[in-house]
């Protein structure tokens, strides 16, 4: 399955935020990579460049490649409502993101691997597709296999201090999460201005 496998610290430094989880590289060197990095950060960017940067940030944040991201945007335009918010909701309701938000993985990359390796059940059925779209009422649970339980329990220990999304009902003892509702814009708090992304695709 296609996924981004390039340098992560470099991408986070380019945008000035930790897109793949906590990064000491961004804290220590808060300027773009490359020999002209310090000066590059001072240049005034065009509107197009800013909008493109917002799209790239959102893509990297959720681990989605360009073709798949465009598919999410086109789906968002077909639905009734605010396109930017619907786009964010589609990304939030990915199975790998739900695992991450529930605290069963400490990064989205770890959550993706947990799903890919068959450690996750949705409504009692094994699902190994990270992009699987969950919906309100779905029950997401870590499989009963000892290896799955041990892996998820270790991850839960790492995420004890992380807040759980309000739109999820999580039982960490059972390693189970129920999708209580569709997340609102205020629940998501993305690192981007999604309206700029909509304007970019609308050109």
The pLDDT confidence band at residue 140, using thresholds 50, 70 and 90, is very high
3, part of any domain: no
Whether the pLDDT of residue 148 is over 80: the answer is yes
Spell out the residues 6+ positions from residue 165 whose beta carbon is closer than 8 angstroms to its own: 101, 102, 183, 187
161, part of any domain: yes
Same domain membership, residue 58 and residue 15? yes
165, part of any domain: yes
Provide mean pLDDT across the span 2-26.
Answer: 58
50 in Cβ contact with 30 (< 8 Å): no
CA Rg, the chain, in Å? 18
Same domain membership, residue 76 and residue 55? yes
For 31-41, b/e burial (b = at least 16 CB within 10 A) is bbbeeeeeeee
Specify the CATH number for the domain of residue 64: 1.10.1050.10
**At residue 187, what are phi and psi to the nearest 5 degrees?**
-80, -25
Specify the CATH number for the domain of residue 99: 3.10.290.10
Same domain membership, residue 68 and residue 106? no
* pLDDT for res 1: 47
Condensed to tens digits (0 to 9), the pLDDT of residues 18-39 reads: 665 655 554 555 655 554 555 5
Q: Look at residue 57 and give its three-state secondary structure.
A: helix
Same domain membership, residue 123 and residue 74? no
Angle at 16 between CA 203 and CA 86, to 5 degrees: 45
Structure tokens that stand for 85 in this block = 């918010």
**At residue 192, what are phi and psi to the nearest 5 degrees?**
-135, 170
Same domain membership, residue 36 and residue 65? yes
Condensed to tens digits (0 to 9), the pLDDT of residues 170-185 reads: 999 999 999 999 999 9
**First-residue to last-residue Cα distance in the chain:** 30
Same domain membership, residue 102 and residue 67? no
Spell out the residues 6+ positions from residue 75 whose beta carbon is closer than 8 angstroms to its own: 86, 90
2, part of any domain: no
Same domain membership, residue 100 and residue 85? no
**At residue 178, what are phi and psi to the nearest 5 degrees?**
-115, 135
Same domain membership, residue 99 and residue 174? yes
Q: Structural domain tally of the chain?
A: 2
Q: Whole domain around residue 51: which residue ranges?
A: 8-90+190-202
d(CA 58, CA 62): 6
Question: Who has greater pLDDT, 124 or 33?
Answer: 124
Same domain membership, residue 104 and residue 44? no
Spell out the residues 6+ positions from residue 126 whose beta carbon is closer than 8 angstroms to its own: 118, 120, 143
* Longest Cα–Cα distance in the chain: 54
Same domain membership, residue 84 and residue 12? yes
């Amino acid at each position: 399955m296609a996924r981004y496998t390039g340098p992560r610290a470099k991408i986070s430094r380019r945008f000035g935020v930790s897109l793949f989880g906590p990064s000491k590289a961004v804290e220590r060197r808060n300027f773009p990579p490359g020999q002209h990095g310090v000066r590059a950060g001072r240049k005034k960017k065009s509107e197009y460049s800013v909008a493109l940067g917002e799209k790239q940030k959102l893509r990297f944040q959720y681990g989605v490649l360009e073709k798949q991201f465009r598919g999410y945007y086109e789906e968002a335009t077909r639905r009734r409502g605010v396109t930017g918010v619907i786009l964010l909701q589609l990304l939030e309701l990915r199975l790998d993101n739900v695992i991450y938000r529930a605290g069963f993985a400490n990064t989205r990359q770890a959550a993706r691997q947990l799903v890919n390796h068959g450690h996750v059940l949705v409504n009692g059925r094994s699902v190994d597709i990270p992009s699987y779209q969950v919906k309100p009422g779905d029950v997401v649970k870590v499989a009963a296999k000892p290896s799955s339980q041990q892996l998820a329990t270790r991850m839960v220990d790492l995420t004890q201090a992380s807040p759980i999304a309000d739109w999820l009902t999580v039982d960490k003892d059972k390693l189970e999460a129920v999708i209580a509702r569709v997340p609102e814009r205020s629940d998501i708090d993305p690192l981007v201005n999604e309206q700029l992304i909509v304007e970019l695709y609308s050109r």
